[in-house]
């Protein structure tokens, strides 16, 4: 029995977090997306949805609200807004002259209409209005909800959604022009964020609420807002005076610029690598799906006659291409070439991220010192469940439980490679591991991920996922293509309805890889959040809208997107994030859904959903051959379940290596000291990698989680990068949340996974706690409310087959 590892602590107040279809399925009706219809007046775009007011002045309260509390409908007319005051006339007119979609009123964001040329005038006009709104708030602020929190939420919401829309387009439809526009207005946006975060009138008003007799009568959600805003203000430098505040603001501006540049360098370096192959022998072993993708890439790069069978083919560093080469290419030289290119991305020439990393770490330490912290790790932990000590304790416990298993993994791989006559068996290198691990998986479990693809077509996977959501959470998910503008014709749009048929949320799904314009990885983010304040009719809250983005293999020819099992897990993962955003019942917008949740708890619902991929009824409902309709054979399902713990020690150590390196860089690393960041990486690897990294390994130059301020599951809120820096000193959160998610799923195991009634009852409880309460209650309290006790790592170690190792450690 593994010892209980307590995750409890005094919970800090928190910041808001920024923080893989076709006609076979009704969810994939291929309706042509409507072009957005421009509104004839300047107002808020979707993101400006503020409550109506009878006042004739052009204030935050006079802007229209997004109405998502009724049945889905096509675009409708809107009542013209009052004319803006003269102070705004010039900025508004300049934006209106180009009919700026960022500043128009839409039920859903005009993703199809926003161009790079709209960003500069639109964002500047927005910021000018927000400056006026902030000045008015500071002039009239009182320590009451209606005079402080409600107007503040309106200001935050406008910037969050407009900037979120622009940033989202950069992630999924990147162009040089869009980058340049964002880079130009970004300093102005950061300046406003700092101005807002450092507002002493607002800070003092929140302090007054906390110290008032009414404090004890506030709801949990409202207390969380007050505590969170006070903590956020402190971390934003509200207590700094004059020179120190000016220095702090310069640091924040530069950190945001550097994070943006880091991200761009990774994307450009990934796109830069292209390996043209004309001899099929060079890519022997690659499955048909990978060959088809490589041929499609070749066509897009100027080889119009490229085919899956005859080539030519282009190999890239984009996820589907890179992974396929690593797992299946028999050409060891090709594997080495592609691997070396991948681990040295963005580490040389004009795209070298090394000096950017050094400067980011230096500035983060400066920021910590200005805020009277010893290091940046302490700044990061101020808004998380864990402390530095608790995070280190958990990571060491998991490392000890994983090490011997990882050593055994490597020895087993060497033995197998030798049995297959591999010349490299006694000296397996990094570019050999995935190849031989996949061969061993096929031999040991008779599972070939590529051969399973026909059983996992995207339409069937989405049908099964939506059926599971209905069973667990009593919701219906319907295709709503055409209701909202989209940024690419592959993007789908859905409506979530409750048991009475009323819409409760909406979401976009962008499943396919587009290396020329789209960031790699997978993520979920909010478009708008649930909010009582931003209600249109004054009674029903504004409904949440999310987007899910993946990078799986697109359809090839007349075949639908055929997924690997890991891609299936990824879709379930991102949907878990989306559910927490969309099924919230918190009406206080600043802590509704994914807003306000401690960073090390945000992965709970996503990792929880992954567990259902190994549930017989769920998986067998998904896994049907896309041509014949044949079910996945029972013996294959059993092998998939058995393979779940395959190389679990190795995979655990990999995550722990990332987490430990991250924490070490932000806790003990001294910028400009005797160690380089790569020395730190090599030192940490001695305890977390069985095979040492290459001396030239520069994976840190592509470590966007901690240096670009986002994660693959990216929650980007207005102030997050200023206050928390994404996953910086927080990568351990993946393992921390794995403990929570595995323990949460064990509640269903305890109830009986084959007992539908018990599963539904437990699902209802999960919805009413973990999904419904969002950031309105401390995550440890939410977990205890669901589970009846504090979390234990036992379920995680059991699921990974490492429980015996932990007990003996």
Answer yes or no: 635 catalytic. Answer: no
From the list 518, 690, 687, 712, the residue with the least C-alpha distance to 606 is 712
Q: Give the tokens for residue 296.
A: 């499609």
Q: Is 439 helix (H, G, I), strand (E, B) or coil?
A: helix
Strands (E), 720-766: none
Q: Give the tokens for residue 360.
A: 């980011």
**DSSP bridge pairs for 495:** 478, 506
CA distance linking residue 677 with residue 361, whole number of Å: 10
CA distance linking residue 713 with residue 601, whole number of Å: 13
C-beta atoms surrounding 440 within 10 Å: 20
CA distance linking residue 472 with residue 224, whole number of Å: 28
From the list 401, 413, 409, the residue with the least C-alpha distance to 738 is 401
Residues written for the chain:
809
From the list 195, 202, 190, 203, the residue with the least C-alpha distance to 163 is 190
Active-site residue, from 227, 438, 574, 603:
574
Kindly tell me the burial class for residue 176, based on how many C-beta atoms sit within 10 Å of its own C-beta (0-12, 13-18, 19 or more).
exposed
Q: Are 149 and 224 in contact (CB under 8 A)?
A: no
- CA dihedral of 423, 426, 432, 434, whole degrees rounded to 10: 130
DSSP at 400: H
Number of Cα atoms under 13 Å in the Cβ half of residue 600: 29
Q: Is 583 helix (H, G, I), strand (E, B) or coil?
A: coil
148-152, long-range: CB < 8 A, 24+ apart: 148/202, 148/205, 148/206, 148/209, 149/222, 149/225, 149/590, 150/533, 151/60, 151/61, 152/202, 152/229, 152/590
CA distance linking residue 186 with residue 351, whole number of Å: 21
Buried b (16+ CB within 10 A) or exposed e, 349-382: eebebbebbebbbbbbbbbbebbebebbbbbbbb
Angle separating helix axes 388-419 and 648-667, nearest 10 degrees: 140
CA distance linking residue 679 with residue 677, whole number of Å: 5
> Taking the alpha carbons of 499, 503, 505, 509 in that order, is the dihedral positive or negative?
positive
Give Cβ neighbours of residue 338 (< 8 Å, ≥ 6 apart): 275, 315, 317, 322, 325, 326, 329, 431
Q: Are 172 and 114 in contact (CB under 8 A)?
A: no
Q: Give the tokens for residue 82.
A: 């009052």
- ∠ CA 283-289-294, rounded to 5°: 55
CA distance linking residue 197 with residue 212, whole number of Å: 22
> Taking the alpha carbons of 444, 449, 450, 454 in that order, is the dihedral positive or negative?
positive
CA distance linking residue 595 with residue 716, whole number of Å: 10
DSSP at 31: P
Helices (H), 354-387: 354-370, 376-381
Kindly tell me the burial class for residue 49, based on how many C-beta atoms sit within 10 Å of its own C-beta (0-12, 13-18, 19 or more).
buried
CA distance linking residue 344 with residue 357, whole number of Å: 14
Kindly tell me the burial class for residue 808, based on how many C-beta atoms sit within 10 Å of its own C-beta (0-12, 13-18, 19 or more).
exposed
DSSP at 770: I
Q: Mind telling me the catalytic residues?
A: 574
């Amino acid at each position: 029995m593994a010892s209980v590892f307590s995750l409890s602590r005094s919970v800090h107040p928190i910041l808001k977090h920024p923080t893989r279809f076709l006609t076979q399925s009704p969810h994939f009706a291929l309706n042509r997306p409507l072009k957005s219809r421009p509104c004839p007046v300047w107002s808020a775009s979707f993101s400006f949805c503020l409550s109506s007011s009878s006042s004739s002045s052009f204030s935050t309260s006079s802007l229209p609200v997004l109405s998502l509390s009724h049945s889905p409908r096509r675009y409708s007319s809107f009542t013209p807004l009052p004319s803006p005051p003269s102070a705004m006339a010039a900025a508004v007119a300049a934006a209106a002259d180009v009919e700026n979609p960022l500043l128009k009123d839409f039920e859903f964001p005009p993703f199809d209409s926003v161009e790079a040329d709209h960003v500069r005038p639109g964002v500047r006009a927005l910021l000018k209005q927000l400056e006026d709104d902030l000045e008015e708030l500071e002039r009239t602020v009182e320590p009451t909800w209606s005079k402080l929190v409600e107007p503040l939420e309106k200001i935050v919401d406008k910037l969050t959604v407009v900037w979120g829309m622009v940033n989202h387009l950069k992630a999924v439809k990147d162009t040089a022009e869009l980058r340049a526009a964002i880079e130009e207005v970004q300093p102005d946006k950061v300046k406003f964020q700092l101005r807002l975060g450092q507002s002493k009138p607002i800070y003092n008003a929140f302090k007054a609420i906390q110290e008032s007799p009414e404090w004890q009568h506030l709801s949990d959600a409202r207390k969380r807002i007050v505590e969170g805003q006070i903590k956020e203000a402190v971390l934003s430098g509200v207590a700094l005076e004059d020179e120190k505040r000016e220095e702090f603001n310069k640091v924040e501006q530069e950190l945001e610029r550097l994070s943006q540049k880091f991200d761009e360098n990774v994307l450009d370096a990934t796109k830069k690598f292209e390996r043209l192959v004309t001899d099929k022998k060079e890519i022997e072993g690659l499955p048909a799906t990978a060959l088809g993708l490589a041929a499609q890439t070749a066509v897009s790069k100027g080889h119009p006659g490229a085919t899956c069978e005859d080539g030519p083919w282009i190999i890239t560093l984009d996820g589907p291409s890179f992974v396929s080469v690593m797992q299946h290419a028999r050409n060891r030289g090709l594997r080495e070439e592609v691997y070396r290119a991948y681990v040295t991305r963005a580490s040389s020439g004009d795209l070298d991220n090394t000096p950017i990393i050094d400067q980011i770490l230096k500035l983060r330490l400066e920021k910590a010192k200005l805020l009277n912290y010893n290091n940046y790790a302490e700044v990061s932990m101020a808004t998380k469940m864990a402390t530095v000590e608790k995070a280190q304790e958990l990571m060491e416990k998991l490392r000890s439980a994983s090490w011997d298993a990882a050593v055994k993994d490597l020895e087993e791989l060497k033995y197998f490679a030798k049995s297959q006559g591999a010349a490299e068996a006694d000296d397996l290198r990094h570019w050999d591991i995935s190849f031989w691990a996949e061969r061993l998986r096929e031999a040991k479990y008779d599972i070939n991920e590529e051969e399973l693809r026909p059983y996992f077509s995207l339409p069937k996977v989405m049908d099964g996922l939506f059926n599971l959501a209905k069973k667990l959470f009593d919701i219906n998910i319907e295709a709503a293509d055409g209701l909202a503008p989209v940024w690419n014709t592959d993007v789908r749009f859905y409506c979530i309805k409750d048991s009475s048929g009323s819409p409760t949320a909406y979401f976009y799904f962008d499943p396919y890889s587009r290396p020329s314009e789209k960031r790699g990885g997978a993520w979920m983010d909010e478009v708008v959040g649930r909010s009582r304040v931003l209600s249109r009719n004054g009674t029903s809250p504004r409904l949440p809208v999310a987007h899910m983005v993946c990078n799986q293999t697109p359809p090839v020819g007349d075949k639908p997107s055929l997924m690997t099992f890991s891609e299936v897990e990824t879709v379930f993962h991102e949907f878990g994030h989306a559910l927490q955003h969309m099924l919230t019942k918190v009406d206080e917008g600043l802590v509704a859904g994914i807003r306000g949740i401690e960073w090390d708890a945000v992965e709970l619902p996503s990792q929880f959903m992954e567990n259902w991929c190994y549930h017989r009824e769920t998986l067998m409902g998904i896994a049907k051959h896309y041509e014949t309709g044949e079910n996945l054979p029972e013996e294959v399902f059993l092998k998939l379940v058995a393979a779940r713990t395959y190389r679990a020690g190795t995979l655990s150590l990999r995550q722990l290596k990332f987490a430990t390196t991250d924490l070490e860089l932000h806790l003990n690393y001294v910028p400009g000291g005797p160690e380089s960041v790569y020395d730190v990486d090599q030192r940490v690897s001695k305890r977390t990698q069985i095979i040492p990294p290459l001396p030239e390994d520069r994976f840190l130059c592509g470590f966007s989680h901690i240096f670009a301020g986002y994660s693959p599951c990216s929650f980007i809120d207005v102030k997050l990068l200023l206050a928390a820096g994404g996953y910086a000193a927080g990568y351990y959160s993946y393992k921390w949340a794995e403990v929570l998610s595995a323990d949460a799923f064990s509640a269903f195991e305890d109830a009986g996974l084959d007992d539908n009634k018990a599963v539904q009852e437990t699902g209802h409880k999960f919805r009413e706690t973990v999904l419904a309460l969002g950031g309105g209650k401390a995550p440890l309290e939410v977990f205890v409310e669901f589970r009846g006790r504090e979390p234990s790592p036992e379920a995680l170690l059991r699921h990974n087959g490492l429980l015996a190792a932990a007990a003996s450690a």
